[in-house]
Amino acid sequence: MRDERKVLLLPYVFLVFFVVIFLLPFVSFAEYSIISNTTSHLGAQKAPFNWVMNLVFVALGGLVIFDSNLVFRNFYFQRVCLIVFGIGLIGSGLFPHRSLVGETNNITLDYWHSLFATLTGIGFAFFAFSVIFIVSQKWLKWSAIAVFIVSILVPILMVHFEGFQGLLQRFMMITALLWLMLLEEYFRKEFLN
């Protein structure tokens, strides 16, 4: 029973993440738009209440690492991919994006944020792709393929449709995290009981 409780912590942090990415914009800087600004902009240098978004990134990353070590303990490559994903989330929270409201920025923090955000995407994309090879159910294989495509295609779309970055990123992150929680529940039932 103890293992089950640990695994089920990620959904609670996901719920907090979901609430924060849709409610924090109302108290962030005046120009913030859910449609065009990303979740990283909520945690940006000098953004009001940026610590809330950054704390959620760190908590989410920490629980992804924690859960991956429990649920995927016999699947080393997948566990490493999720650890990279989690470290990327933690780093994105510890090193805030450049400010969108002021002229003075710590460029070093922004550089590291960019690096960790990229690491987050790479870790997750490799994880989603690798799941195709460890599951036998067709619906899991197809869901892994779909999430992998989303994790590759959405960042490309974000570059080409900057005015919709916020919506695209939210769609990608919500899709990825919901799928990860579904997958963890499946693995928990199949391999931990």
Q: Each residue of 77-105: pLDDT tens digit?
A: 999 999 999 999 999 999 999 988 777 78
Band of residue 191 on the pLDDT scale cut at 50, 70, 90: confident
185: CATH = 1.20.1070
The tokens describing 18, both together, are: 């979901």
Average pLDDT over residues 157-171: 96
| pLDDT of 5 higher than 70 | no
The pLDDT score that the predictor gives to residue 193 is 64
Work out the mean pLDDT of the chain and round it to a whole number: 92
The pLDDT score that the predictor gives to residue 101 is 79
The pLDDT score that the predictor gives to residue 2 is 46
The pLDDT score that the predictor gives to residue 104 is 75
Domain count, the chain: 1
Average pLDDT over residues 22-35: 93
CA geometry: angle at 96 spanning 93 and 101, to 5°? Answer: 140
What is the domain extent for residue 98?
2-191
Burial of 19 (0-12, 13-18, 19+ CB in 10 A): exposed
CA geometry: angle at 95 spanning 163 and 159, to 5°? Answer: 25
